[in-house]
Structure 1
Amino acid sequence: MASNLLDDDIEDILRTVLEDTDETLLVVNPSATAIEELVDVAGGLSDLPEIRLLGDESTLKDVMGDFILASNAADLVHEDALRLRVLEDENENSLLISPDQVVALINVGDTVAGLTTDDAEFVDVAYDEYTTTWEGASEFNLRTPPLSQVRSTLSADIGDGVENDFTGVLSSLQTARGDGNGLDEVTISLLVAAKNEVLLYDISKWGEDVGIASKATFSRTKTRLEDMGLIDTEKVPIDVGRPRLRLKFGDERLYEANTDQLASVAQNLLT
């Protein structure tokens, strides 16, 4: 069974395999780094096979805790380019399997290599076996909404300026993890809402409707940011019911920051 070294860079390996695959590609037990690179590479290609990812549940949960990555993955799911299922056996090899080749992803220190074979008999056996595994696996519940939907609804429901600021802040970040300590998607939403002096009711309703978080989560995060001096509020009377709260910055340094600096300034204030 002949084999050869495909490449020594995970991004290049994935791009090569995706571009060479016309039918379904099975991605078996990828590492966290491989999942991140897969979403990034796939998002930049216009012609994709159906990607069936069989991953360790804890790895998928950890990786998808980053809003930026998860929302881009959700776009691929929405476009029927990516499907996610849970691999029960954690001892499986890391493989890329198409009807034409099998690529084993091998980690040696900080280096990743792709050992590939196109031996027809071996490829057929591997493809059939993991297709059967796929069919018996449970779906991974990706709860993050697609980024394209987040942006379009934010523009339509709140305003183009808020959407531009939201996109600008995301573009300045490498990750947006919802661990409660950094700039997660709720914190970012509230900051750009404060920059544009949007009502808390409006941004939290939008966030709940689009699937980012509940109104209660928005309210709790607002209180935390207010207690730390990043956000301030003012009451806005309405015809019926309790006054609503308009969000504003609570620190002059946030007012002075450009959109691409907002995340770093806020992060410094949070630490």
Structure 2
Amino acid sequence: METESNLLDQEIAEILRTVVDGAPETLLVVNPSKDTIEELIGVATEYEGDLPTIRLLAQEGTLKDVMEDFIVASNAADLIDEGALSLRTTDEVPSNSLIVTDEVVIALVTADDKVGGLTADDDEFVAEAYDSYTAQWEETSDFSLRTPAISRVRDTLGEEISADAQQDFDEVLSSMETARGDGDGLDEVTISLLVAAKNEALLYDISKWGEDVGIASKATFSRTKTKLEDMGLIGTEKVPIDVGRPRLRLKLANEDLQNAETDQLAGVAQSMLN
């Protein structure tokens, strides 16, 4: 096994970009760490050329944890919709994280804060590894990703609420590293409600949109609205309608939020919720 051209002391994203730049037809990523999955989704989302068919085979618990982040999951859903990414789970995984194409096998080795890509490009070894992991892939089960694709979220938000709301949603997400809702970034329902309040949209409209697009149920939107209202982040005013109970218009209730630039909205809200 030849180990020339090792990709030592590089960021995971650099190693992944190097492999994708090699234009393989299929890229198998086996037993990736949480960081590797996040970086892979990021690299694939931002890549401007033709992507290979990316097959990601991971432990179910690892995938579930990573996909709790709305930013990662919604971008992954976009890639799946485009046919560029498939996610599958297995309990039978090697101890190493591997990147496998029909031309190279790379073992990702992490030591402290450094990553090494140990490369093997011996034809016979690579062919055996590629065939072996392809066979393993075909025997595994699809991972069910319930998060909607970010492009669909953006498009429908612009159509159902407003173009300004879509732009604000984009800016808020771009300002965040994660959107997990566990104290490490706001969750997607909170973000949606804050954007709706900034644009003085109706609770009925934003919660119906959120349920229709697959973000969360109307009940979840209602509970989160109550929490944000109780904590003084947003307020409501009644808007009469022709038939039925008045609808509630959302507004930002806190002066710091009202005065914040859109790209600061998440940070200000996070500090208040903490």
TM-score by length of 2: 0.96
The question of 1:110 aligning with 2:113 is answered yes
Residue pair 2:178, 2:184 contacting (<8 A) in 1 also: no
Residue pair 2:23, 2:52 contacting (<8 A) in 1 also: yes
Residue pair 2:55, 2:86 contacting (<8 A) in 1 also: yes
- The residue number in structure 2 matching 1:214 is 217
- The residue number in structure 1 matching 2:123 is 120
* Separation in structure 2 between the aligned mates of residue 14 and residue 98 of structure 1, nearest angstrom: 12
Measure how far apart 1:64 and its partner are: 0.8
- The residue number in structure 2 matching 1:175 is 178
Alpha carbons of structure 1 residues 41 and 98: separation in structure 2 relative to 1, 3 Å: same
- The residue number in structure 2 matching 1:3 is 3
The question of 1:223 aligning with 2:244 is answered no
SS in 1 for 2:186: coil
* Separation in structure 2 between the aligned mates of residue 62 and residue 151 of structure 1, nearest angstrom: 24
Measure how far apart 1:182 and its partner are: 4.7
Alpha carbons of structure 1 residues 240 and 151: separation in structure 2 relative to 1, 3 Å: same
Residue pair 1:254, 1:266 contacting (<8 A) in 2 also: yes
Measure how far apart 1:268 and its partner are: 1.4
Residue pair 1:186, 1:213 contacting (<8 A) in 2 also: yes
- Structure 1: unaligned runs, 5 residues or longer: none
The question of 1:240 aligning with 2:237 is answered no
- The residue number in structure 2 matching 1:153 is 156
Measure how far apart 1:80 and its partner are: 0.6
Residue pair 1:172, 1:260 contacting (<8 A) in 2 also: yes
Residue in structure 1 matching 2:67, options 55, 58, 64: 64
Tell me the alpha carbon deviations over residues 64-106 of structure 1, each in whole angstroms, 9 at most, x when there is no partner: 1111111111111111111000021254421011011111111
- The residue number in structure 1 matching 2:266 is 263
- The residue number in structure 1 matching 2:34 is 32
SS in 2 for 1:212: coil
Residue pair 1:21, 1:98 contacting (<8 A) in 2 also: no
Residue pair 2:176, 2:185 contacting (<8 A) in 1 also: no
SS in 2 for 1:151: helix
- The residue number in structure 1 matching 2:45 is 43
Alpha carbons of structure 1 residues 180 and 113: separation in structure 2 relative to 1, 3 Å: closer
- Between the two proteins, the alignment pairs up a number of residues equal to 271
Alpha carbons of structure 1 residues 125 and 181: separation in structure 2 relative to 1, 3 Å: closer
The question of 1:134 aligning with 2:141 is answered no
* Separation in structure 2 between the aligned mates of residue 44 and residue 188 of structure 1, nearest angstrom: 23
- Structure 2: unaligned runs, 5 residues or longer: none
RMSD: 1.3
TM-score by length of 1: 0.97
Alpha carbons of structure 1 residues 28 and 181: separation in structure 2 relative to 1, 3 Å: closer
* Separation in structure 2 between the aligned mates of residue 223 and residue 211 of structure 1, nearest angstrom: 20
Residue in structure 2 matching 1:165, options 162, 165, 168: 168
Measure how far apart 1:243 and its partner are: 1.0
Residue pair 2:75, 2:150 contacting (<8 A) in 1 also: yes
Residue pair 2:30, 2:93 contacting (<8 A) in 1 also: no
* Separation in structure 1 between the aligned mates of residue 55 and residue 80 of structure 2, nearest angstrom: 10
SS in 2 for 1:245: strand
Measure how far apart 1:44 and its partner are: 1.6
Residue pair 1:231, 1:247 contacting (<8 A) in 2 also: yes
